[in-house]
Amino acid sequence: MKVMKFGGTSVGRPERMKQVATLVTQQEEPVLVVLSALAGTTNSLVEIGNFLAAGKKQEAAQIIDQLEKHYHSFVEQLVSGKEARQDASQILEEHFGFLRIIQRISFSEALRRDILAQGELLSTKLFGVYCSENKLSHALLPALDFMILDEQDEPAVSVISTRLKALVEANADKKLLITQGYICRNSKGEVDNLKRGGSDYTASLVAAAAGASVCEIWTDIDGMHNNDPRVVEKTFPVEQLSFDEAAELAYFGAKILHPASIWPAQQFQVPVRLLNTMEPRAKGTLISSLPAAPGVKAVAAKDNIIAIRIKSSRMLLAYGFLRKIFEVFEKYRTPIDMITTSEVAVSLTIDTDQHLAAILEELSPFGHVEVDREQTIVSLVGFEITTTPAILSNLALAVKEIPVRMISYGGSPHNISLLVPATAKTKLLQQLNKEIFGLS
């Protein structure tokens, strides 16, 4: 079995959804299709949740109306038969009916997550209607029945595997299985999600759980590019990446992959392919355990980083100081991305301000604490890059006139990370394109 995941733009228009059906039915192996919500839907659902949280019911109702209109015209172009149109209308009634009812009940965070789940429920069900109309034998596997989080809000891999395998077996006569990306249930049994962009994570988790031959991530670009194509003009697709390289790029901001989406495939040795729905013949990127060639493969940028500096003369010749600092971050379950130390100070970065106030308070007895917000981590990722001499000298050229706040070099031979103010990101990515990849 192979897993094929299609992102929002890949199903965002009726003709694209039809193309997805063609693609998945051309496969020799049975396919488990993971679908995102139609492009733009999750953003609208986020807005609806925000308006309801703020008690702005009219504003929420307005977005619900717009969204419903959009779905009605989508369905009109997707299916033409009477029965299919009726089925599709019923689906819209069910989900938009839900969105209307919740305007009348009191808001909660659990309700917000229920709202966010509507996009993937709609896209998969409508895709199912299209498949039925076109006599494509298929089964819908509800992600809420098998995609389960544990008490730490991490995917409960063995539960997912057992439940998914049972569902796949029960539908062994079907060559086409369809499920929702992104949505899941938490340990309390509530509807939850795998965070924005989480359908990639679903795909990797189900590919690992089902022992798939490959996990294909179909999107709107022909693979992982060497640099962020939203920021830099001339970029090119990278043909091959190791799991480690892809995991670092995803974690450090390459939006094409959800930050956590590589580890399940890596752990269960399922190769991942990044492919372009708009150009299915393009080679894309293969991510596998094949040995990587030395050199920088790509650079990525992670925004909204907060840098914290703790200065203390008590650090001088002391041991146990770093442990105490790390314990504060551990207590608030806040991961540290970058760290640099001098004899009297330590600088580190985090990517969330969720517990910042409490963290700062607990750090204050250790010394003078300074905070810089709106920073960006720019990472160079590849294989043995710190041991390839030309890279460091080219990097020196690329940081010309860039106010670098931190550098992390040597932690791994495969990654060099720089922390810069967000305002310097574009210039740095462009200069790296020139000095590291020879593109101007």
CB of 200 to Mg ion, least distance (A): 6
Give yes or no for residue 9 binding ligand ADP (CB under 6 A).
yes
CB of 435 to ligand ADP, least distance (A): 18
For residue 352, which amino acid is it? T
Contact residues: ligand ASP, CB under 6 A: 7-8, 36-37, 42, 119, 181-182, 196-199
Which of ligand ASP, ligand ADP, Mg ion, none is residue 182 near (CB under 5 to 8 Å by kind)? ligand ASP
Give yes or no for residue 219 binding ligand ADP (CB under 6 A).
yes
Give yes or no for residue 198 binding ligand ADP (CB under 6 A).
no
For residue 259, which amino acid is it? P
- Per the structure block, which two tokens stand in for 381? 């990722």
- Buried b / exposed e over 181-200, threshold 16 CB at 10 Å, is bbbbbbeeeebbbbeebbbb
Which of ligand ADP, Mg ion, ligand ASP, none is residue 37 near (CB under 5 to 8 Å by kind)? ligand ASP
> Can you tell me whether residue 358 is helix, strand or coil?
helix
Please pick, from the candidates 59, 190, 220, 372, the single residue that binds ligand ADP as defined by CB under 6 A.
220
Give yes or no for residue 8 binding ligand ADP (CB under 6 A).
yes
CB of 256 to Mg ion, least distance (A): 7
Which of ligand ASP, ligand ADP, Mg ion, none is residue 254 near (CB under 5 to 8 Å by kind)? ligand ADP
Helices (H) and strands (E) in the chain, counts: 14, 16
Give yes or no for residue 164 binding ligand ADP (CB under 6 A).
no
Count of residues of this chain found to bind ligand ADP when the rule CB under 6 A is applied: 19
β-strand partners of 362? none
CA pseudo-torsion sign 416, 418, 422, 424: negative
Give yes or no for residue 68 binding ligand ADP (CB under 6 A).
no
Listed ranges 64-72, 116-124, 225-233, 384-392: which one lies at the site for ligand ADP (CB under 6 A): 225-233
Give yes or no for residue 230 binding ligand ADP (CB under 6 A).
yes
Are the C-beta atoms of 315 and 346 separated by less than 8 Å?
yes
- Residue number, 14 or 197, with CB nearest to Mg ion: 197
- Buried b / exposed e over 203-235, threshold 16 CB at 10 Å, is bbbbbbbbebebbbbbbbbbbbbbbbeeebeeb
Residue listed under structure tokens 């689906």? 91
Which of ligand ASP, Mg ion, ligand ADP, none is residue 196 near (CB under 5 to 8 Å by kind)? ligand ASP
Listed ranges 44-52, 81-89, 96-104, 227-235: which one lies at the site for ligand ADP (CB under 6 A): 227-235
Give yes or no for residue 197 binding Mg ion (CB under 5 A).
yes
HSE-up of residue 258 (Cα within 13 Å, Cβ side): 25
Task: Give the integer Cα–Cα distance in Å for 421 and 303.
Answer: 9
Task: Give the integer Cα–Cα distance in Å for 53 and 62.
Answer: 15
Q: Report which residue's Cβ sits closest to Mg ion.
A: 197
- Residue number, 171 or 285, with CB nearest to ligand ADP: 285
Strands (E), 62-214: 139-141, 176-180, 183-185, 191-193
CB of 250 to ligand ASP, least distance (A): 13
Binders of ligand ADP among 253-282, rule CB under 6 A? 254-256
- Per the structure block, which two tokens stand in for 386? 């710190």
Supply angle C-alpha 49, 16, 112, rounded to 5: 10
Task: Give the integer Cα–Cα distance in Å for 308 and 284.
Answer: 38
Give yes or no for residue 120 binding ligand ADP (CB under 6 A).
no
Binders of ligand ADP among 168-197, rule CB under 6 A? 197
Task: Give the integer Cα–Cα distance in Å for 161 and 29.
Answer: 20
In the complex, the residues that contact Mg ion under the rule CB under 5 A are: 7, 197
In the complex, the residues that contact ligand ADP under the rule CB under 6 A are: 7-10, 36, 197, 219-221, 224-225, 228-230, 254-256, 298, 300
